[in-house]
Chain A
Amino acid sequence: GESVGLHLPTLSVQEGDNSIINCAYSNSASDYFIWYKQESGKGPQFIIDIRSNMDKRQGQRVTVLLNKTVKHLSLQIAATQPGDSAVYFCAETYTNAGKSTFGDGTTLTVKP
């Protein structure tokens, strides 16, 4: 069946360090992947996405890497800041699926 999993449930980093959050997916038909950030008391917020015809995409301080061979997705956050503390979810979907499948998330804590 479909599943999207994160390798680590929690991650603690020092302010200013780079963070890497990993995610594994199992549906080889997935062709669109999204990272969301969820702060306490709020809904998930879009960070960055990538389509299956790409292996890397960069945004402002964030980079997503996609390795389709091993069905692995990662989110890199440069110069992590206290405001980056949140739960991060990867989600996968495929054309005409209608739904996105989420993993259980990684809680990122940034220490000052």
Chain B
Amino acid sequence: DAGVTQSPTHLIKTRGQQVTLRCSPKSGHDTVSWYQQALGQGPQFIFQYYEEEERQRGNFPDRFSGHQFPNYSSELNVNALLLGDSALYLCASSRREGYNSPLHFGNGTRLTVT
């Protein structure tokens, strides 16, 4: 049973560029959340997708957008990259039913913006 998988594992981009990160949820999970983790800090909630719609959003600018596909996989897009966007981007999946259940995280995509 595959867990949450993310690609790529590492990425280097230049300021102003755009990036797309991908996530496949754990088998049986239908909800995907994205988190940004800066070095030495806890993960910060970006947004959550369920039934192909953004359901909740954290305090992140519109440069951050996402998508969920019919197979529950998801993408995170960041436009006009800033140096401050350098971080570990974590995808987490869960089941909508049985609310309040732990998140299952992937190992993240390390994004470096130069």
Please judge, given known A-B contacts A98-B48, A99-B56, A103-B42, whether A44 and B100 are in contact too, CB under 8 Å.
Answer: no
Assess A44 versus B43: contact at CB under 8 Å? Given A95-B100, A99-B48.
Answer: yes
Chain B residues with Cβ under 8 A from A93's Cβ?
100
Structural contact, A98 and B4, CB atoms closer than 8 A = no
Interface residues as binary, B96-114 with A (CB distance below 8 Å gives 1, 0 otherwise): 0001101111111000000
CA distance A89 to B104 in the complex (A): 14
Mark contacts of A38-50 with chain B using CB atoms, 8 A cut-off: 1 yes-contact digit, 0 otherwise: 0001111110010
Interface code B58-71, partner A: CB below 8 Å = 1, 0 otherwise? 10000000000000
Please report the total number of B residues contacting A with Cβ < 8 Å. 24
What is the 8 Å Cβ interface bit string for chain A, positions 5-47, against chain B (1 contact, 0 not)?
Answer: 0000000000000000000000000011010100001111110
**Interface size bracket, A side:** 20 to 34
Residue of A nearest to B9 (CB): A41
Residues of A within 8 A of B33 (CB): 98-100
B99 in contact with A95 (CB, 8 Å): yes
Mark each residue of chain A from 75 to 112: 1 if its CB lies under 8 Å from any CB of chain B, else 0. Answer: 00000000000000101010111111111110000000
Chain B residues positioned under 8 Å from A101 (CB to CB): 45
**Is A68 positioned at the interface, with any CB of B under 8 Å from its CB?**
no
What chain B residues lie within 8 Å of A98 (beta carbons)?
A: 33, 48, 55-56
- Residue A51 lies at the interface, judged by CB distance under 8 Å to chain B: yes
Question: Can you list 18 A-B contacts with CB-CB less than 8 angstroms, sorted by A residue number?
Answer: A34-B102, A42-B108, A43-B106, A43-B107, A43-B108, A49-B102, A51-B100, A89-B42, A93-B100, A96-B99, A99-B56, A100-B33, A100-B45, A100-B103, A101-B45, A102-B43, A104-B40, A105-B42
B residues within 8 Å of A by Cβ?
A: 4, 33, 35, 40-45, 48, 55-56, 58, 90, 92, 99-100, 102-108
